[in-house]
Copies of this chain bind each other. A is one copy, B any other.
Amino acid sequence: MEELLTYLLQYGELDTRQRALIQEKARWKTIAKGAYFAEAGKVSAQIGYVTEGVFRVCYYDKTGDSFTRYFVYENRFVVDMNSFRDETPSAEYIEAITDCRVLVFSKADFMQLSVQIPGWDDIFVKITSYVLENKLKFTGNMLVQDAQQRYLNFLSHYPGLANRVPLNMLASYLGITPSSLSRIRKNIP
C-alpha cells in the first residue's frame, strides 16, 4: 500500500486525508498464474497497481497464436486504458504469467476519487502520457535493431524480467521465434 502512495506522489501531491481516501478505496486482489486481469471482448472496469508478479498484455491472431505487446510488473499500473476510460470492450488480454497481487480500484471508486481529490486526474494524465511515450520511444527503436540488439536492449531496460518470463512470450514480444531467441541466448556470455 505504501508503494502505491509513493508511486503516486512522484506525479503529484497528496495530503494525509487524500491518502486515507485512496487507501479506503483500494482492494487487494490476487490473480493466479494463467488467469486474466482483462479479456478481449469484455469491458475491464478496473485499474490495478501491481505489487507482486508479472502480467503480459497480448492478443491472438486468427490461428490462435498469441503475441505479447508488453509486460507489466511490480510498481506499475495494469489496465486496459481504452476499456477503462470509455467502458468499451477490451481488444486485448491481460494475462498473469506468475501469481500476482494487485491493488485494485473499480471504475466507480476511481471516479469518486477523481471528484474528491483535486489533481487526481492530473496524476493519471501524467502517468499515462509518461508511460505511453516511454513505451513508444522504446518500441520505436526496435524495428531498426536486429533480434540480438532488441534482446540486449530488453535485458538492460528490464533487468531481471527476462528470467521471470517464459521464452516463447518473450520471443513474441521481441518479434522473433522461440528458436531464434534460444540461439541468441546461446551466443551471449
Chain B residues with CB below 8 A from A107, complex form: none
Q: Which of B82, B172, B174 contacts A133 (CB 8 A)?
A: B82
Give how many copies assemble into the complex: 2
Smallest Cβ-Cβ distance to A133: which chain B residue: B82
Query: Which residues from 100 to 131 on chain A have a C-beta closer than 8 Å to any C-beta of chain B?
Result: 125, 128-129
Q: How large is the interface on A (under 10, 10 to 19, 20 to 34, 35 or more residues)?
A: 20 to 34
Smallest Cβ-Cβ distance to A142: which chain B residue: B143
Query: Which residues from 123 to 153 on chain A have a C-beta closer than 8 Å to any C-beta of chain B?
Result: 125, 128-129, 132-133, 135-137, 139-144
Residues of chain A having any CB pair with chain B under 8 Å: 67, 69-70, 81-82, 85, 91, 125, 128-129, 132-133, 135-137, 139-144, 172, 174-175
Q: Which of B81, B91, B136, B174 contacts A139 (CB 8 A)?
A: B136
